[in-house]
A and B are shown apart, each in its own frame.
Chain A
Amino acid sequence: MSPDTNSAILRLQGVSKQYRDGPTALHSVDLDIRRGEIFALLGPNGAGKTTLISIVCGIVTASAGTILVDGHDAQADYKAARRRIGLVPQELATDAFETVLATVSFSRRLFGRAADPAYVERLLRDLSLWEKRSAKIKDLSGGMKRRVLIAKALAHEPELLFLDEPSAGVDVALRRDMWTLVRSLRDRGVTIILTTHYIEEAEEMADRVGVIARGRLLLVEDKAALMRKLGKRELDLTLVEPLGQVPVELAEWSPTLEHDGHVLRYVFNATDEHTGIPGFLRRVGDLGLHFKDLETAKSSLEDIFVDLVERER
């Protein structure tokens, strides 16, 4: 089957997972990943991110659903599907007594590729591992081990790379290097799916973001659109005298009354150039509304999760 550049490189249809004697980890997930994009799967711990990745990679068996990797069924045609996938796991699972070069060369062959010392050298240089090629993995730092896992995942030149919680236990320098590497991979045409519970990571790298919680994929959106949602902020004015209703003079800001009229809340978009705060406060002053406290709050990713999960119920 020839790859169609317009089609999804990964297509999940109705993928579910029910662990034996355990909770349902995934509820009928449908998801299309576009060729060449960086997709961030965001969710709190235990949301089902790793389960989803593990199913696509063949480490966990799905209870239901179909998975197509570049048009190849991940069950019936698993060899063709898996050859296209590289996985950097969350845990630092390595063969302690192997050298860096040996373990990366091993991964390449394991995935059915003939040895290519030039490619492996370039890969190790890109990841600043070349100097350490003869070192045993047990002698490397945690950050270096993570680089080794990335090199192993890229050793067979996959088209689709999974990064499961890439910044778990990683220092700032490595995180930055990793982001640079991810972008350069994308420029070479590699599609990247990363899981994270850090909104900053998704913000920094992703083209699109999927939010998953309690095994359900709650939304999939372009990053820009999600950031607008995340960019919602609230301004709370605690009034000296409670109000019975919002004065019509404030209608253009559409504020709401909270706490039995004691709090006047204005929700605005922090990413807009003009937040409307100065005008709003001026009008409040003109109306002679006195307030004793002023507070602003940002809607966090957590709030979004809670919102989305509540809405699901």
Chain B
Amino acid sequence: MTTFTPTTSDETLSTVAWAVEQQSPLEILGHGSKRGIGRPLQTEHTLDMSKLTHVTLYEPAELVLSAKAGTPLAEIEKLLAENGQQLAFEPMDYGPLLGGEPGKGTIGGVLAANLSGPRRLKAGAARDHILGINVVSGRGEAFKSGGRVVKNVTGYDMSKLMANSWGTLAVFTDVTFKVLPAAETEVTLAIRGLLDDAAVAAMAVAVGSSAEVSSAAHLPERIAARVADGALGSDAATLLRVEGFGPSVAYRITALKKLLGGAGPLQEIAGEVSQVIWRDVRDVRPFADFSEKPVWRVSMTPSQGHHMVLALRMQAAVSAFYDWQGGLVWLRMEEGDPQDALLRGLLRKHGGGHATLVRAAPAHCAALPVFEPQTPALAALSQRLKQEFDPKNILNPGRMA
């Protein structure tokens, strides 16, 4: 068991090339903050990318940042914040949910898992902000794709192909992201006491209005108390975030209040409390309980999420809350059984989408498909891509299986 810790792109290349030649699989690791997701690996060797660090280019006026893949996300976010900018897709931190430390994770991991957060609704995910990459494939070949400019259609968008590949196609050495100005002001409007169906209806109205709602989440009763140290109290909270320049935010909050006045009691939350609430929603704090109770991340048609949950409740004990206007459902299975067949069957019945078992006991992770199974044609196509880029199954073998 050897851990390789390259500090340069060249060392990364030669390590992978060596592993290819030895036909010796590697587990690709940053900080390991998402290590628990996917089928557990049993590789002889580990490629630890956490020492391949540094921001190599940051030009705020050009809205672009490049970094070596092992650069801590926290370091990048701090640098951006100092310049009034941010990664607008708001990458979540899986640490708390998976029982690890908060604030870990590398920028390479952000792309490999295509992370995003509540602002996904308006601003997209990592895949929408990646401009270019340098990687080493499972053939031991170093190559680049994309560039450092926002608008680029030169050749296939391999950066997107690599997003959400969980280290199974290539090892990232460099990533270049589009960065954006951080909002000057944020205010959250909370509608209190709604049941799921009323909440989903209210969120659809709000998000479809010209108030430019950047995030819309619904925390049912009891869940609401588990964010921001209980700042919301225990009544159900339907949260609408409005961001931008001060006068604009004030105007849009007023417009939303007019629009939703009849929906339920309204509450305005500003400043740091608002930020903490959204960070906790982003990081699934309500389920960060240091347990192994299975947690599912389900992406589906926003209007269908709560119907699926209702159907599920008739057959299993679950806790649930909603982000992305209802289209991102976080589920905790209270009885310890992941109920994958039941959940996936109901998901298909409610318009489809995909469910990922992000937390479970190791035995469940090993035995069940963690990621959504694909149709035969799509699975075959994905397999052919894996074969093209990692024919000897060197990189994170089986993780997405």
Verify that A and B bind, or say they do not.
Answer: no
> Measuring CB to CB, which residues of chain A are less than 8 angstroms from any residue of chain B?
none
